[in-house]
Amino acid sequence: MDKSIKTEIIEKYKNAATRLILLDYDGTLVDYNRNPSDAKPSDKLSGILKKLVENTKTKVMIGSGRGHHDLERFLGHLQVSFIAEHGAMIRKE
C-alpha cells in the first residue's frame, strides 16, 4: 500500500461519524495453535482492541468458526461483538 492510500484511509477513519471494524480470529488476530484452547489473544492485542472500543464511534466485530464459549473466555472482558460457530451464534455489544 503506498503512502497516499494509507494517508487517505487514516483521514477517512478519523473523519467518519461511525466505524465498523470486522476482524477474523484464528490465523489473523492470533496464530493457529496445535491446541486451539491455547490460541489466546496477547496482552498487546487485548490492549489494541480495548483502545478501539473505548471510542464510542467505533464498533469491533470478530468472526470465528470457534465455539462461542472459547470467544467468551478469550474476549468476554472486552466490549467487542463476535460471530461464532460460523454464524450460528452472535454476541452484540
Catalogue the active-site residues.
Answer: 24
Q: How far apart, in whole angstroms, are the C-alpha atoms of residue 67 and residue 58?
A: 25
Q: Are 83 and 62 in contact (CB under 8 A)?
A: yes
